[in-house]
A and B are shown apart, each in its own frame.
Chain A
Amino acid sequence: MTATVEGARGTQPPVPDGAVTVTVKIRRFNPEVDDEPRWDTFDIPALPSDRVLNLLHYIKWYVDGTLTFRRSCAHGICGSDAMRINGVNRLACKVLLKDLLSAGGKPTTITIEPIKGLPVNKDLLVDMEPFFEAFRAVKPYLITYGNEPTRERIQSAADRERFDDTTKCILCACCTTSCPVYWTEGSYFGPAAIVNAHRFIFDSRDEGAEERLDILNDIDGVWRCRTTFNCTDACPRGIQVTKAIQEVKRALLFKRV
């Protein structure tokens, strides 16, 4: 291919040494044209040290500029590029091609789909609003009563340790959209909202634990969790999501935070 394609950046750059050709199979949907999502495949050169995000960039920049996906920092911090890669939810910027290559030099196909359970706007871009609605509903901010202290709110290292794991959440939606309960029933708060509630419920400086526990005690709250551990497997930050949900269940069960 010498001619540039629509929306693309320019001609394809020279193929670097050590590159292999991989097939990238992408689940695409253009609301202006398609009635149903469709599969598109691209054969592109890539280095084993590339991330999946590099492959998507290559396709968007040099092969098909209409490919749509989110990404911002591209370093696993912003949480924009969550997608279903070979059937599991991952951040495209954290998955290396060498971990997806077939053994023995056989041809490799990488399947990329939008995360499941949220409405698809276009290609890999989903409407995150239902996800953020659940997040807002658990009041993910500091709640205190009484006069504000004149000094900073002090906390011991041991008290900080209790919710340390759940502070790592970047709201990428990998966990929530890997949850089979969330797939079928979108009114379930989902793992990410519970993780962010956990972060404040177990914070010794916060006084809103009871409100949040009430919210999570309802029909769409923690009792919907079936402990399938999909969320823990999916979390790109390594948060023990299912454990956090269990801790909220325990707090409700024994009326003790």
Chain B
Amino acid sequence: MSLALDKPRSPRRPAARRSNGELYSWLFMRLSGLLLVVLVLGHLFIMNILDGGVHKINFGFVAGRWASPFWQFWDLSMLWLAQIHGGNGLRTVINDYARKDATRFWLKILLYISMVLIISLGTFVIFTFDPNITN
């Protein structure tokens, strides 16, 4: 084919990687976004509006909620979804705006480390929370 030598010095891009990663990340953003609307608005409603609003929140209130697996699951999914949704959003922002490959790489490393730290710390607290703790 003569096409390959048509413009020998013109920029070329690497061949497609045949991976569906970007498709799944795009789809995840839509689905997690829908779920987060329910989870976060529900959370805000319970915490800030129901039963006297924010003034009712204290150690006992949190302990009471986390005694139920339902609220544990609610908070856990909110934590994971919000972290991954936000992290993926920031990943696209970094991909769009980082000018150098090195900057892009290190910003993403920083992002992934902070995501892992926050997700593991939050998950750890939800599952090991002890309501009978004293001081």
Contact = CB atoms under 8 A, between A and B. Distances in A.
A contacts with B: majority SS:
helix
A49 to B, nearest CB: 41
Contact of A130 (B11, B21, B25, B97): B11
B18 interface: yes
B11 A223 contact: no
Given A185-B95, A185-B96, A217 B13 contact: no
Given A185-B96, A252-B23, A253-B27, A220 B11 contact: no
Contacts of A217: 16, 18-20, 22-23
Interface in A187-246: 187, 214-215, 217-221, 223-224
Residue with the highest number of chain B CB atoms closer than 10 Å, among A137, A217, A220, A221: A217
Contact of B10 (A133, A187, A220, A221): A133
A217 B18 CA distance: 7
Interface string B11-49: 111001111111101110000000000000000000000
B95 A215 contact: no
A129 interface: yes
B96 A184 contact: yes
Interface string A121-133: 0000000011001
Interface residues of A, number: 20
A223 B17 CA distance: 14
Contact of B95 (A219, A221, A253): A219
A244 B77 CA distance: 35
A217 to B, nearest CB: 6
A215 B19 CA distance: 10
B26 A223 contact: yes
Interface of A: 129-130, 133, 137, 181, 184-185, 187, 214-215, 217-221, 223-224, 249, 252-253
11 contacts: A133-B11, A133-B13, A137-B13, A217-B16, A217-B22, A218-B17, A221-B22, A223-B23, A223-B25, A224-B92, A253-B23
Q: Which 7 A-B pairs have the closest CB atoms?
A: A223-B22, A223-B26, A214-B16, A215-B16, A218-B16, A184-B96, A185-B96
